[in-house]
């Protein structure tokens, strides 16, 4: 899959539509950049743009936007609720797909240097959560960036609020201090621009909870929950959360405005529930919440799982889980919430994904298998058969669940259905992974082999390709092996009218392991790593034995139930 970086520049203009549109146009017209979202806030007088592209393209897109903003925005005239220190206040680069954080750090460094060189404005670099030294080359010049612990260039620049303290108004004096010398550009105050912060970070979720109260009461709650708290001696409850209270004039409500710096440390629903808890103590009504910009699908699904467990409800489909979260958090309280426009994975489609095997019609897939080509072959077919076996297990569970005659089995089916539903989707993905793994080995075989160095590189690439070609079918067999206990339960408790479906499911899963076994064994013979081959041979043999044994048990049990 292609590399994808998210860039989220925040510009200090939220009211002038012409300016907002011109900046957006500069981004969208940059080759390789896809503008996903433009979120303008009149009260904050700030617009958050979200766009994606390759590590190189997003730098160009951000620079093009900055050049337009430099012409159209005068920071000396700016007023707004949100803390800010420049026209382009902050410009983070975030890894989304197939990109390391180190590559995003390179993008931030390149952007910071080019911005300072081209516009002659000061820029401060904030880099979070790294513990290794990085040498970065930008525009032919060498510069060293040393990172340790969670520090950036120095302790005072660990976080965005620390850099932005005092905001635009204190910049003239701040830039005179040695400890605030810009990382790029001169230590000179440019009234029209101010200063810019750029860096690399994890996916930040900008999330606001709506309250019918005053700005001061909202801020009181924000002080309780944000990690910074009220002071060093009074820290808040939630790690990796920034927060403040403000009043949203255009909606006539107050908000606890938060930034979730790491949604896996403090999830979305935890922030909402904690604000609700404090609001209840203060007798304040919570009236929904608001996401600013985009959100990763995982953050939404994590919230869904929380409410599913809390309320003891049963939901399988991803779409339904998303709807549940929208409802429980009141994400549509201020404006419609369309998942296809707000969840980043749903907005970005890799061109290569359009040609993946699982997107083909069944007829076309079968024709491709039957063509004069080594891929797709037995590995992809094994994965396809297995996914159908898991799907049948899911189907039988659903044909049992929720029916009055099997009402006493509902708790059992709630436990049995999800593993099949999850495996069904995971096994589908292996259809393409197997084909790609084989292709990587074939590509390695085509590498040059004229010199000793070329031969060594080719051999190493071929060995890696072979290991990948083994890992994929092995993971298939491993996943199927986890399903046998659940399928035995389905065979014991499932709707007996679906007996033949369970029988087909068992044989389909067994066939998947059978195919995986021979794909692994075939490729192991050419791998020189003996420890690897012995371990894989032992484990894949065990999976095959388990498949044969469990299939026999399941079929025998179904025969007994039928008599």
Of 421, 434, 493, 501, which one is the catalytic site residue? 434
Triad 265, 270, 271: Cα angle to 5°: 95
Kindly state the DSSP code that residue 203 receives in the 8-state scheme.
P
Read out DSSP for 383-409?
Answer: HHHHHHHHHHHHHHHHHHTT-GGGGGG
Task: State the angle between helix axes of 499-524 and 484-493 in degrees (0 to 180), rounded to the nearest 10.
Answer: 170
Active site residue 434: yes
Of 39, 57, 78, 82, which one is the catalytic site residue? 82
Torsions phi, psi of 184, nearest 5? -135, 145
- Other Cβ atoms less than 10 A from the Cβ of 21: the count is 12
Residue 375 in contact with residue 435, Cβ under 8 Å? yes
Residue 33 in contact with residue 61, Cβ under 8 Å? yes
Triad 448, 452, 456: Cα angle to 5°: 70
Residue 24 in contact with residue 35, Cβ under 8 Å? yes
How many whole angstroms separate alpha carbon 360 and alpha carbon 364?
Answer: 6
Kindly state the greatest CA–CA separation across the chain.
90
Torsions phi, psi of 21, nearest 5? -70, -40
Residue 208 in contact with residue 292, Cβ under 8 Å? yes
The burial class, CB within 10 Å (0-12 / 13-18 / 19+), for 177 is exposed
Closest CA relative to residue 8, chosen from 54, 40, 38, 51: 51
Lookup: tokens for 104 = 């995003």
Q: How far is CA 281 from the centre of its chain?
A: 34
Cis omega (within 30 of 0) for bond into 485: no
Active site residue 82: yes
The per-residue b/e assignment along 81-111, b for 16 or more CB within 10 angstroms, e otherwise, is: bbbbbbbbbbbbbbbbeebebebbbbbbbbb
β-pair partners for 255: 210, 246
How many whole angstroms separate alpha carbon 490 and alpha carbon 481?
Answer: 15
Range 72-76, long-range pairs (CB < 8 A, 24+ positions)? 72/13, 72/16, 72/19, 72/22, 72/23, 73/11, 73/12, 73/13, 73/19, 73/192, 74/192, 75/12, 75/168, 75/191, 75/192, 75/193, 75/194, 76/191, 76/192
Token look-up 């910074």 returns 228
Integer CA distances (angstroms), 374 to 23, 309, 378, 442, in order: 49, 46, 9, 10
Indicate the pairing of strand 10-11 with strand 46-53: antiparallel
Active-site residue set: 82, 434
């Amino acid at each position: 899959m292609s590399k994808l970086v998210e860039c989220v520049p925040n510009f200090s203009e939220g009211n002038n539509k012409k300016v907002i549109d011109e900046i957006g146009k500069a981004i969208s017209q940059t080759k390789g950049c896809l503008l996903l979202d433009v979120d303008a806030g009149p009260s904050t007088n700030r617009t958050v743009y979200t766009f994606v592209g390759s590590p190189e393209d997003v730098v160009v897109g951000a620079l093009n936007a900055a050049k337009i903003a430099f012409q159209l925005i005068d920071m000396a005239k700016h007023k707004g609720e949100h803390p800010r220190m420049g026209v382009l206040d902050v410009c983070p680069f975030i890894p989304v797909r197939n990109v390391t954080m180190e590559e995003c750090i390179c993008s931030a460094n390149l952007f910071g240097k080019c911005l300072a060189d081209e516009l002659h404005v000061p820029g401060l670099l904030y880099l979070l959560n790294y513990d290794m030294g990085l040498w970065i080359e930008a525009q032919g010049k060498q510069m060293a960036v040393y990172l340790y612990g969670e520090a950036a260039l120095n302790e005072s620049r660990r976080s965005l609020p620390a850099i932005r303290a005092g905001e635009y108004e204190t910049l003239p004096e701040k830039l005179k201090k040695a400890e605030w010398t810009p990382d790029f550009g001169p230590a000179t105050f440019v009234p029209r621009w101010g200063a810019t912060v750029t860096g690399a970070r994890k996916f930040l979720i900008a999330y606001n909870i709506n309250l019918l109260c005053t700005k001061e009461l909202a801020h009181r709650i924000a002080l309780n929950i944000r990690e910074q708290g009220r002071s060093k001696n009074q820290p808040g409850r939630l790690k990796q959360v920034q927060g403040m209270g403000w009043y949203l004039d255009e909606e006539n409500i107050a908000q606890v405005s938060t930034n979730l710096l790491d949604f896996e440390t403090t999830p979305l629903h935890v922030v909402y529930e904690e604000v609700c808890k404090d609001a209840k103590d203060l007798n304040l009504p919570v009236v929904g919440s608001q996401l600013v910009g985009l959100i990763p699908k995982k953050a939404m699904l994590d919230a869904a799982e929380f409410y599913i467990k809390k309320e003891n409800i049963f939901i399988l489909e991803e779409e339904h889980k998303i709807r549940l979260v929208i409802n429980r958090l009141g994400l549509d309280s201020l404006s419609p919430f369309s998942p296809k426009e707000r969840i980043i994975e749903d907005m970005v489609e890799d061109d290569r994904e359009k040609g993946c095997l699982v997107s083909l019609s069944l007829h076309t897939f079968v024709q491709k298998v039957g063509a004069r080509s080594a891929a797709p072959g037995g590995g992809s077919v094994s994965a396809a058969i297995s996914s159908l076996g898991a799907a049948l297990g899911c189907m039988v569970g659903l044909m049992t669940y929720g029916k009055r005659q099997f009402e006493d089995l509902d708790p059992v089916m709630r436990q049995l259905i999800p593993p099949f539903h999850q495996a069904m989707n995971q096994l589908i993905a292996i259809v393409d992974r197997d084909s790609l793994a084989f292709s990587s080995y074939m590509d390695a075989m085509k590498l040059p082999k004229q010199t000793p160095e070329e031969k060594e590189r080719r051999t190493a690439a071929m060995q890696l390709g072979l290991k990948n070609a083994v890992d994929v079918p092995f993971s298939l067999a491993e996943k199927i092996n986890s399903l046998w206990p659940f399928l035995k339960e389905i065979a014991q408790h499932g709707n007996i009218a679906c007996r033949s479906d369970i029988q087909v499911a068992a044989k389909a899963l067994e066939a998947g392991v059978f195919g995986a076994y021979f794909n692994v064994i075939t490729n192991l013979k050419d791998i020189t790593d003996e420890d690897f081959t012995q371990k894989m041979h032992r484990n894949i043999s065990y999976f095959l034995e388990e498949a044969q044994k469990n299939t026999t048990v399941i079929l025998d049990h179904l025969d007994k139930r039928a008599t």
